[in-house]
Chains A and B, each alone.
Chain A
Amino acid sequence: MKTLSWTLIVLSVLSLFVGIGQLSVVDLVHGDSKSWQLLITSRLPRLAAVLLAGAGLSIAGLIMQQISQNRFASPSTSGTIECAMLGYVLSLVIFGDGSQLWLIFATSMLGTLLFVQFINRIQFKNAVFVPLVGIIFGNVVSSIATFFAYKHDAVQNLSSWTVANFANLLQGDYELLYVAIPFALFSYLYATRISAVGLGKDFAVNLGLNYQQVLIIGVLLVSVMSASVVMIVGKLPFLGLIVPNLVSRFYGDNLRRNIPLTALLGALIVLGCDLLGRVIIFPYELPITNIISLVGGAVFVFFILQGEKNAR
């Protein structure tokens, strides 16, 4: 935990000085107004967005895995993100602009709830079926979104969502992401109930838990957190999936202890990938989606093969 925090702090400070605009410590100390302006309007917002998005999405993945009782569930393998996309299209079509937040949150929540209901109803013989169905469910929802978008000439508005990029975040663009902080705190306090739900419906009811209520609150947490990330930044595939798995691999399954760890590791991974994308073809930038899906995909495949070995 200590190592993680220190690495995160060092990388965060470093990331402030990576970019095409000149920024050096010396200038800052001398009080150069241009340098300070660059720092405050561009570099700091970007850093904050990276950290909040990484932490928020990872916690969302952790909660999703608990309430669906499946290691392979996450916002990107349960249709949550695609439903947020659908909500955005609906808001464009009905209200003429994409800023009806309540509609986006409501659709992503409804979709996630629907998916959780699906997987609770269907007795899958195989745990791997859940993410498969989730991914196809996401495809279905995104094709419905494309259908409406095509009808109203809004396909292009959608495409910016599919590629995550922190490059164009300035002061004033990213503040919605701060929603991750109260939500993370809340899920930390609520952790025991969520992990009781993770033991299964019968067990949770036996413990005297209002199962439906906790489930809906869990879905609400997941949807709002991942919808706000995808709206501001874009899709970060596999992140919500691999981070909780990595954490539970090394630190066990104590949910309350894992929430801060997950947040730290998620922020660290996103920051690392973002830095990589900024350096690799300097002075241009690679969108983080590409890097994270290569890295995350590899880690995910590794997990599946490992899980297979353990099952034998």
Chain B
Amino acid sequence: MHDNGKLMVLAITAVIFSALFLGIGLTADNYQYFLSRRIPKVLAMIIAGIAIGQSSLAFQTITHNRILTPSIMGFDSLYLFTKVLVVVAFGGLSSIAMNSYFNFAVSVVAMLGFSALLFGFYFRGERQNLMVLLLLGVILGQVFDSSSSFLIMLMDPNEFASVQASMFASFNNINVDLVYLSTPLLLLASWRLYRLNRLLDVFWLDKDNAVSLGVDVKKVTLQILMLSAVLISISTALIGPLLFFGLLVTNLTREIFKSYQHQVLLTAVSLVSVASLLSGQWVVENLFGFSTTLSVVINFIGGVYFLTMLLRNKIV
């Protein structure tokens, strides 16, 4: 099948599942209430899917490998940590900590700062080693994790309740305000990313080739890291951490589409991740009757997939 045909199939799948989520059991009497609950949920899944897919793809391109994604680098842990810090600083029931805009702004700023810091480390010397950057990210992520668990231990149980919701991925208590706030932000970020698609094509050839073809590696890396930070903040704020989802969808996309053009790949990865998120959640809700959660399933499948990739030596 041609690439355009595959894109069409994915788009139709996504539309069908969105329609299923929105439309089941809708009558003339209840549609106002049902839709007010369901539209944000579907929209959140779509936004988060696009954000995770695109950020992971761009991130893998600049790091030139197929197994690392931004969430592995500690961005998720940082998100939770800022959340905990806000609750500790202002109190869980204070108007500031309850304000989702404020929370979102703080975590976006923290993540941008974090990626700028890592970036500073990375380009400090003459010989840059991206793997060292990633390892630093992973370790700092673990440090964030244990710092948050330390603060959580000291916390009042009532205050902990307001943190707990953001510790696990969930599609059922979506914050409606954030959905509408993050839509323009997502459009802006993915438009910026799309503008960089030709540079990304060159980057996938390897960094040395990119340099000799005249790409400003430093500038583009910084841009991509910042955009990834914004996109990951959006998805984490909306649905919570999904560790292996980025890994899964980027590799699925690269398997389905044999293309190397990021113009195609960026669109494709968004569709793949939206379609799989919607269909996965649908299956979990309706066939398994909520007996397991989608994030556990994703981590399980993504993990097994990761191991087979390692065995087949397909890391680049």
Contacts and interface: CB of A to CB of B under 8 A. Distances in A.
B146 A294 contact: yes
B1 interface: no
B252 interface: no
Interface stretch (B217-225, B265-273, B279-287, B300-308): B300-308
A147 to B, nearest CB: 5
Interface string B71-104: 0100000000000000000000000000000000
Interface stretch (B130-138, B156-164, B207-215): B130-138
Given A131-B135, A297-B140, A286 B150 contact: yes
Interface residues of A, number: 40
A147 B299 contact: yes
Interface stretch (A55-63, A137-145, A189-197, A268-276): A137-145
A141 B306 CA distance: 11
Interface string B282-302: 000000000111001101101
A133 B67 CA distance: 9
A312 B127 contact: yes
B300 A143 contact: yes
B4 interface: no
A305 B94 CA distance: 41
A163 interface: yes
B116 interface: no
A15 interface: no
Contacts of A35: none
B139 A301 contact: yes
A166 B147 CA distance: 19
A42 interface: no
A19 B136 CA distance: 36
A132 B306 CA distance: 13
B296 A143 contact: yes
A135 B141 CA distance: 12
A131 B135 CA distance: 8
A202 interface: no
Contacts of A72: 135
Given A132-B135, A147-B296, A237 B150 contact: no
Interface string B140-153: 10110111011001
Interface range on chain B (Cβ under 8 Å from partner): 35 or more
Nearest to B292: A150
B292 to A, nearest CB: 6
Contacts of B143: 293-294, 297-298
Contacts of B300: 143-144, 147
B131 A128 contact: yes
Contacts of A312: 125-127
Nearest to B128: A308
Contact of B306 (A129, A136, A147, A287): A136
A301 B135 CA distance: 9
A126 B315 CA distance: 13
B313 interface: yes
A161 B149 CA distance: 14
A24 to B, nearest CB: 30
Interface in B25-64: none
A300 interface: yes
B204 interface: no
8 closest pairs, A vs B, by CB?
A: A140-B303, A143-B299, A293-B146, A297-B143, A290-B150, A128-B131, A126-B131, A147-B300
6 contacts: A118-B311, A163-B149, A290-B153, A297-B143, A301-B139, A309-B125
Interface of B: 67-68, 72, 121, 125-127, 129, 131-132, 134-136, 138-140, 142-143, 145-147, 149-150, 153, 243-244, 291-293, 296-297, 299-300, 302-304, 306-307, 310-311, 313, 315
Given A146-B299, A147-B297, A308-B132, 11 more contacts: A128-B129, A128-B135, A131-B135, A133-B67, A139-B72, A143-B244, A144-B300, A147-B292, A151-B292, A237-B146, A311-B127
